[in-house]
Structure 1
Amino acid sequence: MSVLENEQRRRVLLISNGHGEDEIAAVLGEQLAQVSPEFELLGFPLVGAGRAYAAKGIDILMAAETLPSGGFTRNSLGNFLRDVKAGLFRQIGAQIKMSRQVRHRVDLAVCVGDVYLLTLAGLFLKRPLFFLPTAKSDYIAPHLWIEIRIMRRFCRQIFPRDARTAASLSRHGLPAEFVGNLMMDCLSFQNPAAFRGEEGWVILLLPGSREEAYANMKDLAAAVVALEKLAAGQGTKENRRYLVALAGGLHFKELSKALGPDGWQGAEPGPEEAARGIVGHLDRKDAAGGLRITIAQGRFGDLLAASDLVIGLAGTGNEQAAGLGKPVLTFPGRGAQFTKVFAERQKRLLGDSVRLLVREPEVVAKAALELLRDPAAREQMGKSGRERMGDPGGARKLALRIKEYLA
């Protein structure tokens, strides 16, 4: 039986347009399956293959092709032109066609992303819509008047990412309510102590989730080298352990290949390490001795929980780190996503929980070492991050709201 052949069950379509948005929609689907197992859930990723849905056992209505921009078509004219050449308009046409085909077989659509996604669903799906506007926050900039008009036209309910934005939309007469930031529900924990070690500091490196992560990792590794040289020059004896959270869809061999010209060599994990999610190590020999960066996959929550400091070039990952109370250092990356403008917007979103630096290894190293030696500053940054992101539990609350709506 196909995912749309059973006409007796209530169907909820989860639509998302980004990898982080896929994660949020999938964790909401997971909670919906628990509170309303009678619902049929369908995932509709507009960007990429929707691995997050598959990981939660949610059927995918239609996957998208991976375009050169990785979902950041509107970030620059170059991104737009490359995506057009790779079939952007063909893909949009297919998504519109699919929306029309399933219009009479969906009871509710939950849109996770931006107003473009909402507009597409409103015009062509034409079903009741719940909207999670993950791309906008009043901490960065209020919604534009045209966005407010679109939300007023299409949304039955709006669940913004923070209380400030919910209050702002409510003042415009929109049905907005803050139930929590579902991004924090996307974190799962198994055994953080496995990555903690006996003593010393743990520094987590986040290169991002797209192809640009390989280039970003070169800058992060250069910062590690600079940090160790700085510490050695000061005669300090602290132990530091470096970990990398490698996103799904990225590969350790490609990472090792990218860093080879910089003097790093890949090393395979031992059996016990592999069982803990470690996929390899990057080793480097120099005059100061040996350096090791450990790469893990599928254990992001544990890696975050184990860390004392995050140096990140990630969108969702940096935000989750801040929400978990981890101080974050960041700087502009080298790809289509983590640009200077993106990093500045994220800084406004996360406030004092993030320090935005220039992309220079020595600058990053100095800031990292100073922060590691200042527990009061780390605590204050962590407090700010927890306040901005909110507590977990929003996915469960929203699932119950959906159950009530469809009752």
Structure 2
Amino acid sequence: MKSKGVLFLSNGHGEDAINCQILKALKASGADVDVSAMPVVGDGAAYSRSTLPIIGSTSQMSSGGVFDMNPLFLLKDVGTRLIALTWQQLQAVWMHSCCCDLVVATGDIVDRAIGLSTSRPYIIFLSDRSSYYQGRVDLGLILWQLLCSEKCLAVFTRDALVRLV
């Protein structure tokens, strides 16, 4: 029987660590899976430590991927090849995902949208909604469209408040 291909997407070191915990549980369950990862933000150090193969280019941006703290951070990142890196990452995900049975998108709207763009079934792990407590995030219609897609098989949350929304 052919092993299942699972692609993990994440957008920061915390999300990388969450995906590595999911991978650890998968291995412990004895599941026959062929896993890979694409950290959209950062260098994916947690994946490297867990020997999870990274499928595309990574880079540590000067903002650390946190644009909403200061809009100038986004401009600085654009100056340090953010657009080219994002395009390379999208191409890697699209090419690799055709061999996958499932995409796991952990983090914010960016990696969830990339998961949807693969046309593969996906699972969402919402981990960014802690910013909801700070009154900074309103994902509105975009989030609901991703959650309601027929390709979205399940949604998991880190924060209890999300379960009430």
Question: Is residue 2:152 matched to residue 1:150?
Answer: no
- For structure 2, the residue ranges without an aligned partner over 5 or more in a row are none
In structure 2, the residue matched to 1:128 is 121
Q: C-alpha displacement at 1:39, in angstroms?
A: 0.8
Identity %: 25
For the residues of structure 2 that align with 1:37 and 1:56, how far apart are their CA atoms?
17
Q: How many residues align?
A: 161
Q: Structure 1, residues 70-108: CA drift from partner, whole Å, max 9, x if none?
A: 111343221011100100100110011112212320111
CA contact (8 A) 1:50 1:63 kept: no
Using the TM superposition, give the Cα deviation of residue 69 of structure 1 relative to its aligned residue in structure 2, in angstroms.
Answer: 0.7
- Please give the TM-score of this superposition, normalised by the length of structure 2: 0.87
Matches within 5 A, 1:157-306: 157-168=154-165
1:4-403 maps to which residues of 2 (within 5 A)?
8-123=2-117, 125-137=118-130, 139-141=133-135, 144-146=139-141, 147-153=143-149, 155-168=152-165
TM-score (norm 1): 0.37
For the residues of structure 2 that align with 1:75 and 1:149, how far apart are their CA atoms?
A: 26
- Amino acid in the other structure paired with 1:18: G
- Tell me, yes or no, if the aligned pair for 1:48 and 1:63 is still in contact at 8 Å: no
Give the Cα separation in 2 of the matches to 1:37 and 1:58: 15
**Distance apart, 1:24 and its partner CA:** 0.7
Q: Distance in 2 between matches of 1:70 and 1:36?
A: 35
- Preserved contact between residue 122 and residue 152 of structure 2 (Cα < 8 Å): yes
- 1:37 to partner: Cα distance: 4.2
Instruction: Give me the CA root mean square deviation.
Output: 2.0
Matched residues in 2 for 1:72 and 1:39: separation? 32
What is the CA deviation profile of residues 283-339 of structure 1, one whole-angstrom value per residue up to 9, with x for unaligned ones?
Answer: xxxxxxxxxxxxxxxxxxxxxxxxxxxxxxxxxxxxxxxxxxxxxxxxxxxxxxxxx
Structure 1 distance, partners of 2:62, 2:133, is 30
- Equivalent position amino acid for 1:155 in 2: C
- Preserved CA contact (<8 Å) 1:109 1:130: yes
CA distance in 2, matches of 1:75, 1:101: 33
Checking the alignment, whether the CA contact within 8 Å between 2:10 and 2:107 is kept in structure 1 is yes
CA contact (8 A) 2:61 2:77 kept: yes
Question: Where in structure 1 are there 5+ consecutive unaligned residues?
Answer: 1-6, 169-407
- Which segment drifts farther, 60-69 or 83-92? 60-69
| Greater radius of gyration (CA) | 1
One-letter amino acid of the structure 2 residue matched with residue 82 of structure 1 = K
Instruction: Please state how far the C-alpha of 1:19 moved relative to its aligned partner.
Output: 0.8
Q: C-alpha deviations, 1:349-400, integer Å up to 9, x for none?
A: xxxxxxxxxxxxxxxxxxxxxxxxxxxxxxxxxxxxxxxxxxxxxxxxxxxx
* Partner Cα separation in structure 1 for residue 102 and residue 85 of structure 2: 23
Give the aligned residue type for 1:133: L
